[in-house]
Amino acid sequence: MNEITVLPILGSLRRGSYNRMALHAARELAPEGVTLLAEPSLREIPPLDTDAIEESGFPPAVTRLAEAVRAADAVLFVSPEYNYSVPGVLKNAIDWVSRTPQQPFKGKPVGLMGASPGPVGTARMQYHLRQVFVFLEAHPVTRPEVMIGLAPSRFDEAGALTDETTAGFIRDYLELLRGWTLRLKAGAP
């Protein structure tokens, strides 16, 4: 079977986020054999508190996210860059989930993309997130990179992607994530 399920994790809570728009575009551009699941909300995840784990266990929102990561064939992070790095809400969610039993990012194929009003896209955030993946033993797609710079010029007022070059990058990237995931599932390096 050559189909995969991909759990998108959105690193922005903002309704009008360019990254939400990019995720919507990814859903529309997903090639055959790639199903993007509903993205979980990170809103209900409290700030990481390891004392709380010992006192009352994992919050339900964390448990649901960990189970969703486990169940998906791959994870696609779609995130902005805040202060040259990973948004706090996203890092917090990753930190929580990484502490759950049978850490679900280990061995998981991972994709990364992001959109930003600036010309660099989300390069620094993606590089920092890759460092996190090293520790978590996740397997990110390394190339190509989808860093959507100058995002206001790539989407229309309704949030639809209007740039064909960017659409091609997203489509190709999802196909690559599919191939990478199938290779890892088959045990190929």
Q: Domain with 157 in it: what CATH number?
A: 3.40.50.360
Name the one residue in this structure whose structure tokens are 């502490």.
99
32 membership: H or E segment, kind and range: none
- Within 8 A by CB and 6+ apart from 136, the residues are 94, 98, 103, 105, 106
Q: Which amino acid is at 120?
A: V
Overall domain count for the chain = 1
Parent domain of 122: 4-185
Environment class of 58 (CB within 10 Å of its CB; exposed 0-12, middle 13-18, buried 19+): middle
**Per-residue model confidence as pLDDT tens for the chain (189 residues):** 699 999 999 999 999 999 999 999 999 999 999 999 999 999 999 999 999 999 999 999 999 999 999 999 999 999 999 999 999 999 999 999 999 999 999 999 999 999 999 998 899 999 999 999 999 999 999 888 899 999 999 999 999 999 999 999 999 999 999 999 999 999 876
